[in-house]
Amino acid sequence: MMFETAVFDLDGTLCDTIPDIAAAVNYGLGKLHLPQPLPREFDGFVGNGTDLMIQRALKEKYTPGRVLEVKEYYKEYYANHYDVYTKAYKGMPECIRALKERGLKLAVVTNKIDFISATVVEKYYGVGLFDIIIGQKPGAPLKPDPTVTLDVLSRLNANPKTTAFIGDSDVDIQTGINAGVTPIGVSWGYRDRECQQNAGAKLFADSADGLFEILTK
């Protein structure tokens, strides 16, 4: 099956962003003199939006008010330190360019805060490769709700039958299923294959080359 449209998750799929995300959240926690989780604990915190990520990082210190306080520090710090340790996954920029050359419509739908999402993507993938980049916006439901993804498909005039949603988590797999498109899991991100399989994934890529083959065969 030849796909005509590919929608990508960002964190854990296009870029390894955890070290900079962890540093930004821990900056906010430090400002409030609260315990700071280890960076790799954030593998289990991300995926469901910024508020829930911070709630998970707060652990037993969680209150709704603290989430808001940490979030403001997080946004301030992350906006200026999003590219200290972040990197594109091996082979993915080349994969995206090759897909673009094949004529695929490309988009990013992420639960990352919208104000920084396009900045991160364009820093590591360049400007113009993706037709649409959408992050978390006030009032818009987060993945796995399919609303934003369906809006992207409408804007791209994409056929769900020839569209794939590519991501590293159960949230992404569920998003693809909920949107009526083909979900494709990747093994290099923050959730393991079993997690994605339990969410309904049937297709997996273990490398950028493998992903390109799935999308273009």
Q: Going from the first residue of the chain to its last (217 residues), give the mean pLDDT of each consecutive group of 10, the final group possibly shorter.
A: 94 97 98 96 95 97 98 97 98 98 98 95 97 96 98 98 98 98 97 95 97 96
Which residues sit opposite 109 in a β-bridge?
134
So what CATH class is 5-16+86-216? alpha beta
Segments of the chain assigned to CATH 3.40.50.1000: 5-16+86-216
Segments of the chain assigned to CATH 1.10.150.240: 18-81
User: What CATH code is assigned to 18-81?
Assistant: 1.10.150.240
User: Cβ(40)–Cβ(18) under 8 Å?
Assistant: yes
Identify residue 22 by its one-letter amino acid code: A
By DSSP bridging, strand 87-88 and strand 15-16 are antiparallel
Q: Is the entire prediction scored with pTM above 0.85?
A: yes
Position of tokens 């990508």?
8
Residue in 11, 8, 14 with CA at minimum distance from that of residue 53: 11
Confidence at residue 2, expressed as pLDDT on a 0 to 100 scale: 86
Position of tokens 């030849």?
2
Please say whether the dihedral angle defined by the alpha carbons of residues 206, 168, 85 and 129, taken in this order, is positive or negative.
positive
Which of 9, 11, 20, 168 is flagged as catalytic?
9
Active-site residue 192, yes or no? Answer: no
